[in-house]
Amino acid sequence: MVDNYQGAGVESWEILNCSPDLPYPFPNSSLLTPSYSIAIAMILCIGNILNPTELETTIAKLEMAEFVDGKATAGWHARQVKHNTQLPQGSPALAIVRDIIDAALQRHALFQMAVRPYIVRPVTISRYDIGMSYGTHIDNALMYDPLMRSDVSMTIFLSDPTTYEGGELIIESTQGEVAFKLPAGSAIVYPSSTLHRVEAVTQGVRLAAVTWIQSLVRDPQQREILFDLDTARQTLFEASGKTPVFDLISKSHANLLRQWTEF
């Protein structure tokens, strides 16, 4: 886990405005960059998780790969509504793409700060052709190989959104449903406790990488508090340097992280 983000300040973050339906600007956002947008419960859209070279290499490998029925990796209840294909275990392309994405996530300070990853499951590569979808489901709470608890779900969009119709990721909440369809190379992270689905693709092909994370901080509200404090202290540091106020915020951030972290 990265816990030192100095040199990768908030001005360099690529936090996308996930959807016109989400609150923007976020309350108390005067200290933050204009591109900052976050919904409740730590739904966060991050631009350019993959750089252009990584994205190009990934797409090239997937274009030559053979996909199989995706039902095999779904839970018994989700299997009834899962209609897509995915790269099989043992696929040479899958091994290469996993290495690319794993390296990208390890170096990405914003992902590390927002998610606080303890275990990151190797990615699954999904393909949705015309007519394919993934109906409403909840991700498995426990996963195996490795044994882990799913706290955070993540989708990395690999296809240019202008090349396919449909295929939106729909996340349900008490505020209603929100649709997400991000630029290629961008990602969304959201609590695994939410019901969600992928709408049917009506034109083109939707490629995505999905993974699940056990966080050092399992509660999404606690992760949001830590994220807000970290954002505030870094913005303050960039504006004024190491001040007594910065030290006080850093103290609170560190002590909350110490209190809430689980191994």
Cα–Cα distance measured from residue 233 to residue 235, given in angstroms and rounded to the nearest whole number: 5
Instruction: Identify whether the C-beta of residue 188 lies closer than 8 Å to the C-beta of residue 169.
Output: yes
Which is higher by pLDDT, 88 or 9?
Answer: 88
CA distances from 133 to 51, 125, 126, 154, 225 (A): 27, 14, 11, 17, 34
Q: Residue 19 contacts by C-beta under 8 Å, 6 or more apart in sequence?
A: 178, 179, 180
Tens of pLDDT, residue by residue over 91-105, are: 999 999 999 999 999
Q: Supply the mean pLDDT for the chain.
A: 87
Q: Residue 9 contacts by C-beta under 8 Å, 6 or more apart in sequence?
A: 234, 235, 237, 238
Task: Give the pLDDT score at 77.
Answer: 81
- What average pLDDT does the segment 9-35 reach? 43
Residue 38 has pLDDT above 80, yes or no: no
- Please report which residue ranges of 64-108 form alpha helices under DSSP H: 92-107
| Phi, psi (deg, nearest 5) at residue 258 | -65, -40
Tens of pLDDT, residue by residue over 122-138, are: 999 999 999 999 999 99
Q: Tell me if 206 is assigned to a ligand binding site.
A: yes
Residue 114 has pLDDT above 80, yes or no: yes
Residue 36 has pLDDT above 80, yes or no: no
Nearest one of 258, 252, 261, 259 to 232, comparing CA atoms: 252
Q: How many helices (H) and strands (E) does the chain have?
A: 5, 17
- Please report which residue ranges of the chain form alpha helices under DSSP H: 52-63, 92-107, 109-115, 220-240, 244-260
Q: Tell me if 77 is assigned to a ligand binding site.
A: no
CA distances from 109 to 1, 15, 150, 222 (A): 9, 12, 21, 18
SS3 81: coil
Instruction: Identify whether the C-beta of residue 201 lies closer than 8 Å to the C-beta of residue 129.
Output: yes
Q: Tell me if 196 is assigned to a ligand binding site.
A: yes
- What average pLDDT does the segment 5-13 reach? 46
- What average pLDDT does the segment 37-55 reach? 82
Which is higher by pLDDT, 228 or 12?
Answer: 228
Tens of pLDDT, residue by residue over 196-218, are: 999 999 999 999 999 999 999 99
Residue 165 has pLDDT above 50, yes or no: yes
Residue 20 has pLDDT above 50, yes or no: no
Instruction: Identify whether the C-beta of residue 107 lies closer than 8 Å to the C-beta of residue 92.
Output: no
pTM score of the predicted model? 0.87
Tens of pLDDT, residue by residue over 241-261, are: 999 999 999 999 999 999 999
β-bridge partners, 15: 46
Residue 194 has pLDDT above 80, yes or no: yes
pLDDT tier at 174 (50, 70, 90 boundaries)?
A: confident
